[in-house]
Amino acid sequence: MHDTIPILYEDDAILVVNKPSGLLTVPGRGPEKQDCLIKRLLQPFPNARIVHRLDQPTSGLVIIALSHAAQKAMGHRFEKREIEKSYVAVVHGLVSETEGEVELPLICDWPNRPRQIVDSDNGKLALTRYKVLSYDTENQSTRVALFPFTGRSHQLRVHMQAIGHEILGDQLYAGQLALEASSRLLLHASQLKFLHPISEQELEIHSPPPF
């Protein structure tokens, strides 16, 4: 099964792989949710360890540690926000500002989990910067680059919804028009820039979106 997972970078310490849309990063609850990225990688890489996750419908770059030391070092880099991440998304409507930021605190909507909601009183800090890449006036959509400063669950999806531009194909947050515009969530983790956990060499990995 691992041959379905493209490996974009590999050495003794880490892998950077391209997760397809629709595949869980780690197992979920129930027998139907056991197939996932880490299980597919454990056969060829028995020491593979999760460092971070992407939502099931999101595609793109995921860092996999191949040792405890690498996992610990990369975990610290994520905690300290030393990993530069960028995504590409296609959102509903024509975004008026060519670039900007969304700073809205987020919290889990417990009665409707895993949904997240904006909550100014109890939410945790969440900051997303965005930049318009192109407009599709015929289909009334905008291709944007998204740069999460924080890494809250569903952050990019909720922030774009909050400013009136849901990501196309988002089954949790999109309205009917945006949902029907795509059979998958049009969100892709397209770039990672970070220091290697062992050598501390700077790495920059790119993955063009498949949409």
Mean predicted confidence (pLDDT) in 97-103: 98
Residues 86-187: name the CATH superfamily: Pseudouridine synthase (3.30.2350.10)
Active site residue 11: no
DSSP 8-state secondary structure symbol assigned to residue 7: E
- Tens-digit pLDDT profile for residues 10-55: 999 999 999 999 999 999 888 888 999 999 999 999 999 999 999 9
Residues 2-83+194-206: name the CATH superfamily: Pseudouridine synthase (3.30.2350.10)
Predicted pLDDT of residue 1 = 47
Predicted pLDDT of residue 30 = 84
Residue 201 has pLDDT above 70, yes or no: yes
Mean predicted confidence (pLDDT) in 169-191: 97
Instruction: From 84, 96, 89, select the one nearest 185 (Cα to Cα).
Output: 89
Q: Where are the domains of the chain?
A: 2-83+194-206, 86-187
The chain-wide mean pLDDT, for the chain, equals 96
Predicted pLDDT of residue 32 = 85
What percent of the chain has pLDDT above 70?
99
Catalytic residue (one of 12, 35, 55, 109): 55
Is the distance from CB of 160 to CB of 87 less than 8 angstroms? no
Mean predicted confidence (pLDDT) in 164-192: 97
pLDDT band, very low/low/confident/very high, at 7 (cuts 50, 70, 90): very high
Instruction: From 30, 63, 58, select the one nearest 156 (Cα to Cα).
Output: 58
pTM: 0.95
Judge whether 2-83+194-206 and 86-187 match in fold.
yes
Instruction: From 178, 171, 177, select the one nearest 114 (Cα to Cα).
Output: 171
